[in-house]
C-alpha cells in the first residue's frame, strides 16, 4: 500500500485495513511519518515528532494481531496531541518554554487513545497557554494553514488542525476554551465538535480554565470524530465537571438519521459590533437552504444572546494565571503572557467562583433559544482567516482586540457548556475553507453528530490535495 493512499484515508478506513490484513500498523505509521517529514517543514504543525516511539508502538500492535489478540477501535491509527496534554516522556510545554521536565505518565485521554490502539506520532503547536485564536509563539514560531501558507490555521489548536488538514495524521486532539477546536477547524476545512462541558475527563487537572475548557478531536470526517469521542469520553473521580451519559454511542449517532429537526439560523453575533464576512453569511444561508431541502423545519431566529463577558473574562485570566503558576520557570514565559498574568491579578478564586455562577445565569438565558429550535445554525468566525503574523506586535489588550472577531460566535458556548460543532461547507474564492457552526442543547452531541453527518453526505466537503495547497 502506498504511503500517499494510507496517509489520506480517514481513521475509520485505516482501522478496517489494520484489523483485516489490508495494511499493517507499521505501514500506516510509516506513511504518517513520511508525510510529516515532507510537509511539516513548510507548515510547522509539530513541536515534537515521536518517530522511534511510534514505530515501536506499531510493532507491538502488529504483534498483537499476529498472536490473535483483540484489536482496539483505533488500531494502528496515527494521532497527534496538542502541547497542553500530557504525553509520557514529553515536556508539557503549553506552547512555551517555561517547563523543562518530561512528564512520566500519559494524561487520561492519551492513555485511553493508546489503550484503543492509537499510535501517538507527536505533539502539535499552540500559542502559549492557548490564549489566542492564532497559532504563533516566540518559542514555536508561526504555524501555517495548509490551504494557503500565508494565512493562519486559527488557534489555539492550530498545530493539530494543520497536521490533520494536510493529511499528516487522520486525527489530532485539541482543546477548546473559547473556540479553540472550532476556530481552527473552520480555518482548515475540518470537522471539530466541542463537546458538552464534562463530557471528556480533564485529568490530571480537576478542570480546564474552570468551566470553559474541554478536550476533543479535530478530524476530516464526522465518523472519525464520533469514533474518537467514544474512546475518550467519560470521567474520573477528580473531575470537577461531569456530563450525563448519552443514550447511544456517538458512532451510532453519526450513522443515524436525525429525523425532522427544528433548526434556527442567525448571523447576529454574540459580540456586538462584529460583522461576519460575506462568505460566512452566504454559508449560513446556503446551509439553511440545504437543511430545508433535507426536510427540516428551518427558520430565522433571534437568539437574544446574553453577554458572556462577566463570566468569561475572569475564567480566562484565572486559567492563564493558574497554568503560569504551575510552570517550572515563570521567568521564561513570553512577555505578553506575563502581561496577561499581571492584568489578571485581581482574579481571586472567589471571583472565579462568582464568574462561574454568572455563567450559569448566562447559560439559562442562552438556552432559551432551544425552547423554539433543536439546533442553532450560525457562523463560526467573523473574518476570513487572517494572514500570519497576528502576534508580531501588541500586548494583551491589542491581542484581545484582534481576537474579538474570531470568537464572536464561539466563546458563549464555552461559558454555557453547550456542545457546538464547526462543519465545513466548501472553499471560498480566496482558496480557504468556509464553515458554519451548529449548536445543540446541553448533553446533546448525538443530534449534532447525526445532523452533521447528514450534511456531510448531502454536500461532501472538499479535502486538501497536493494540487489545492498553496
Tell me the pLDDT tens digit for each residue of 213-272. Answer: 999 999 999 999 999 999 999 999 999 999 999 989 999 999 999 999 999 999 999 999
pLDDT value at position 463? 84
Q: Give, to the nearest 10 degrees, the angle between helix 25-43 and helix 158-165.
A: 120
Q: Which residues, 6 or more positions from 392, have their beta carbon under 8 angstroms from its beta carbon? A: none
What pLDDT, on a 0 to 100 scale, did the predictor assign at position 393? 83
Name the residues annotated as catalytic: 82, 156, 180
* pLDDT confidence of residue 112: 98
pLDDT score at 145 = 98
Residue 108 pLDDT greater than 60, yes or no: yes
Q: Is the pLDDT of residue 467 over 80?
A: no
Give the pLDDT confidence score for residue 8 in this predicted structure.
Answer: 80
102, 91 Cβ separation under 8 angstroms: yes
Is residue 193 scored above 80 in pLDDT?
Answer: yes
* pLDDT of 168 strictly over 70: yes
Whether the bond between 67 and the residue before it is cis, its omega within 30 degrees of 0, is no
Question: DSSP 3-state assignment of 426?
Answer: strand
CA distances to 147, 152, 206 from 379, rounded to whole Å, are 20, 18, 31
Give the CATH architecture of domain 3-458. Alpha-Beta Complex (3.90)
In 213-372, alpha helices (H): 222-232, 250-254, 278-293, 309-325, 335-343, 349-366
Is 3's pLDDT higher than 50?
A: no
Q: Is the pLDDT of residue 412 over 60?
A: yes
Q: Show Cβ contacts of residue 37 under 8 Å, excluding neighbours closer than 6 positions.
A: none
Q: 435 pLDDT exceeds 80?
A: yes
Reply yes or no on whether the pLDDT at 95 is more than 90.
yes
Mean per-residue pLDDT for 336-340?
97
Amino acid at each position: 500500500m502506498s504511503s500517499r493512499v494510507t496517509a489520506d484515508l480517514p481513521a475509520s478506513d485505516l482501522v478496517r485495513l489494520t484489523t483485516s490484513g489490508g495494511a499493517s500498523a507499521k505501514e500506516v505509521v510509516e506513511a504518517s511519518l513520511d508525510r510529516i517529514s515532507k510537509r511539516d517543514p513548510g507548515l510547522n504543525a509539530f513541536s515534537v515528532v515521536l518517530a522511534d516511539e511510534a514505530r515501536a508502538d506499531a510493532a507491538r500492535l502488529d504483534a498483537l494481531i499476529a498472536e490473535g489478540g483483540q484489536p482496539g477501535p483505533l488500531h494502528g491509527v496515527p494521532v497527534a496531541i496538542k502541547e497542553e496534554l500530557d504525553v509520557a516522556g514529553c515536556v508539557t510545554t503549553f506552547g512555551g518554554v517555561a517547563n523543562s521536565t518530561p512528564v512520566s505518565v500519559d494524561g487520561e485521554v492519551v492513555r485511553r487513545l493508546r489503550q484503543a490502539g492509537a499510535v501517538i506520532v507527536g505533539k502539535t503547536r499552540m500559542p502559549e497557554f492557548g490564549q489566542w485564536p492564532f497559532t504563533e509563539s516566540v518559542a514555536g514560531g508561526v504555524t501555517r494553514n495548509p490551504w494557503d501558507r500565508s494565512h493562519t490555521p486559527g488557534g489555539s489548536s492550530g498545530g493539530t488542525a494543520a497536521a490533520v488538514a494536510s493529511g499528516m495524521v487522520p486525527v489530532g486532539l485539541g482543546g477548546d476554551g473559547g473556540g479553540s477546536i472550532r476556530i481552527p477547524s473552520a480555518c482548515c476545512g475540518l470537522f471539530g465538535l466541542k463537546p458538552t462541558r464534562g463530557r471528556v475527563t480533564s485529568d490530571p487537572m480537576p478542570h480546564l480554565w474552570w468551566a470553559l475548557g474541554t478536550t476533543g478531536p479535530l478530524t476530516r470526517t464526522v465518523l472519525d470524530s464520533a469514533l474518537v469521542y467514544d474512546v475518550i469520553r467519560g470521567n474520573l473521580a477528580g473531575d470537577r465537571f461531569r456530563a450525563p451519559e448519552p443514550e447511544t454511542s456517538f458512532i451510532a449517532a453519526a450513522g443515524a438519521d436525525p429525523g425532522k429537526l427544528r433548526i434556527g439560523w442567525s448571523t447576529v453575533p454574540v459580540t456586538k459590533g462584529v460583522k461576519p464576512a460575506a462568505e460566512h453569511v452566504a454559508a449560513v444561508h446556503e446551509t439553511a437552504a440545504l437543511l430545508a431541502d433535507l426536510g427540516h423545519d428551518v427558520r430565522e431566529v433571534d437568539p437574544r444572546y446574553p453577554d458572556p463577558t462577566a463570566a468569561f473574562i475572569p475564567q480566562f485570566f484565572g486559567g492563564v494565571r493558574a497554568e503560569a503558576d504551575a510552570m517550572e520557570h515563570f521567568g521564561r514565559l513570553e512577555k505578553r503572557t506575563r502581561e496577561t498574568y499581571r492584568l489578571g491579578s485581581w482574579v481571586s478564586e472567589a471571583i472565579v467562583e462568582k464568574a462561574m455562577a454568572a455563567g450559569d445565569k448566562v447559560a439559562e438565558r442562552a438556552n432559551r433559544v432551544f425552547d423554539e429550535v433543536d439546533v442553532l445554525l450560525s457562523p463560526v468566525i467573523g473574518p476570513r482567516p487572517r494572514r500570519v503574523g497576528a502576534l508580531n506586535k501588541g500586548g494583551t489588550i491589542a491581542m484581545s482586540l484582534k481576537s474579538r472577531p474570531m470568537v464572536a460566535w464561539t466563546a458563549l458556548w464555552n461559558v454555557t457548556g453547550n456542545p457546538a460543532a464547526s462543519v465545513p461547507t466548501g472553499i471560498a474564492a480566496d482558496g480557504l475553507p468556509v464553515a458554519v457552526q451548529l449548536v445543540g442543547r446541553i448533553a446533546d452531541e448525538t443530534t449534532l453528530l447525526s445532523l452533521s453527518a447528514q450534511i456531510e453526505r448531502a454536500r461532501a466537503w472538499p479535502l486538501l490535495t497536493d494540487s489545492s495547497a498553496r
